[in-house]
């Protein structure tokens, strides 16, 4: 079989990245892991709270987290939040693509070690749900999971054992939080009278409250 020049094949991949399959690239003897890193860009946004992030730290995050972009053929977004809680540094990372969200957080005394654990967690999430995600994205050529390592654990089917229906009463976020506390729950779904949308209030680990508002793409 004739060997094609790397530069020529890369031009084909860049031009037709939504149609060129992994098998095509392998057929031309190309290391797809490295080539997709050149084709696919992960947009990483780093924010801090009570944390001074050095350029070297940001570069490490972008390099290690960016490697997960090789599993996708379309640009994906990653949001990373760095914060300090006493003597412990915390990192939260969220990766989103085509409606699928992966999220992990770690806290410890060594932020670089936490970064490694975050990447491992996200990679394991992708592996754990590989079959389900492949089924969900079977018609989406922008998502590739062929190179993810297989998990040894047996895949468990999602079993919904109860469906609950209730009437949504118009109220504001403060009223929803009061109702949540009265019920002893850690979240509450309500119809927000201020924006006329279904929202969710929830109780955070630190005792404060959060509000979830839907956003449709």
3 is a domain residue: yes
How many CB atoms are closer than 10 A to CB 155?
Answer: 10
Q: How far is residue 128's CA from residue 168's CA, in Å, rounded to a whole number?
A: 35
Evaluate if pTM is beyond 0.75: no
- Asked whether residue 162 is assigned to any structural domain, the reply reads no
Nearest to 193 by CA among 165, 170, 176: 170
CATH code of the domain containing 134: 3.30.160.100
Q: Which structure tokens are listed for 67? A: 């490697």
pLDDT digits (tens, 9 = 90+) for 156-206: 667 788 888 878 889 999 999 998 888 888 999 999 999 999 999 999 888
Where is pLDDT greater, at 60 or 139? 60
- Per the CB < 8 A criterion, the answer to whether 39 and 76 are in contact is no
Tell me, what's the pLDDT at 55?
A: 94
Domain that holds residue 146: 41-155
In this structure, are 54 and 128 located in the same domain? yes
| % of the chain residues with pLDDT over 90 | 36
Task: Evaluate if residue 39 carries a pLDDT over 50.
Answer: no
CB 142 within 8 A of CB 72: yes
Residues 133 and 27 in one domain: no
Indicate whether 47 and 109 sit together in one domain.
yes
Per-residue pLDDT band at 113 (split at 50, 70, 90)? very high
- The per-residue pLDDT for 25 is 43
pLDDT digits (tens, 9 = 90+) for 71-109: 766 678 899 999 998 888 999 999 887 767 888 999 999
Is it the case that residue 35 has pLDDT exceeding 60?
no
As a whole number of angstroms, the distance between CA 22 and CA 9 comes to 12
Considering the domain architecture, whether residues 6 and 91 belong to the same structural domain is answered as: no
Do 28 and 78 reside in the same domain of the chain? no
pLDDT at 38 over 50: no
For residue 165, being part of any structural domain is answered with no
Which residues on adjacent β-strands are paired with residue 104? 93
Whether residue 23 is found in the same domain as residue 120: no
DSSP H or E segment with residue 62:
helix 55-66
- The alpha carbons of the chain give a radius of gyration, in whole angstroms, of 21
Cα distance between residue 86 and residue 81, in whole Å: 16
Between CA 198 and CA 168 the distance in angstroms is: 8
Task: Please provide residue 59's backbone torsions phi and psi, each rounded to the nearest 5 degrees.
Answer: -65, -40
Reported for 17-24, long-range contacts at CB under 8 A and 24+ positions apart, including other chains, are 17/73, 17/74, 18/73, 18/74, 18/141, 18/142, 19/141, 22/144, 22/146, 22/147
CA atoms within 13 A on the CB side of 119: 15
How far apart (Å, rounded) are the C-alpha atoms in residues 124 and 57? 23
């Amino acid at each position: 079989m004739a060997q094609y020049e790397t530069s020529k094949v890369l031009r084909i991949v860049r031009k037709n990245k939504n149609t060129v399959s992994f098998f095509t690239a392998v057929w031309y003897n190309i290391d797809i892991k490295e080539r997709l890193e050149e084709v696919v860009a992960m947009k990483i946004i780093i924010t801090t709270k009570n944390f001074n992030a050095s350029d070297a730290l940001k570069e490490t995050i972008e390099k290690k987290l960016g490697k997960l972009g090789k599993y996708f053929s379309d640009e994906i977004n990653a949001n990373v939040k760095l914060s300090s809680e006493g003597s412990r540094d915390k990192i939260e990372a969220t990766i989103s693509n085509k409606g699928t969200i992966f999220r992990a957080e770690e806290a410890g005394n060594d932020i670089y070690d936490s970064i490694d654990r975050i990447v491992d967690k996200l990679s394991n999430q992708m592996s754990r749900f590989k079959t389900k995600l492949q089924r969900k994205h079977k018609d989406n050529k922008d998502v590739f999971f062929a190179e993810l390592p297989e998990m040894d654990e047996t895949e468990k089917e999602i079993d919904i054992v109860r469906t609950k229906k209730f009437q949504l009463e118009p109220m504001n976020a403060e009223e929803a939080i009061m109702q949540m506390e009265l019920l002893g729950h850690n979240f509450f779904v309500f119809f927000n009278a201020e924006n006329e949308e279904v929202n969710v209030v929830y109780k955070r680990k630190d005792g404060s409250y959060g509000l979830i508002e839907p956003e449709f793409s």
